[in-house]
Amino acid sequence: MTTQEKRAEQRQWWRELIAEQKKSGKSIRAFCQERGQKEHLFYFWRKQLAPPAKAVRFALVETNGGLAVREKIEIALDSGEKLRIAPGADAATLRMVLAVLREARA
């Protein structure tokens, strides 16, 4: 068996184990203790095998020269979710929202 085949087999084994844990309804700690698995390896493989997060894309928006926004701003995300920003939202709030969206992307 080649190294590549061994790795594929290992990945498949972990996929099945992770799926079993989800179905069991048990905590990861309890599940790993029952199976004699190391909890840190379970978390490592769960992260490795997780589907990649969908990237958040931004569009360039021109400001109105610092004037107060009188209308609601709506940002549509690729995921289908919409972010609505109420009139009068301050710059600090908008910066915080953008930071959270960027964090979620990482």
The better pLDDT of the pair 22, 100 is held by: 22
Mean pLDDT of the chain: 83
Contact 85, 97 (CB under 8 A): yes
Which residues lie closer than 8 Å to 77 by C-beta, 6 or more apart? 56, 83
| DSSP three-state, residue 83 | strand
- Judged by average pLDDT, the poorest of 36-40, 69-73, 80-84 is 69-73
pLDDT tens digits, residue range 31-52? 999 999 999 999 999 999 988 8
Q: What confidence category does residue 66 fall into, taking pLDDT thresholds of 50, 70 and 90?
A: low
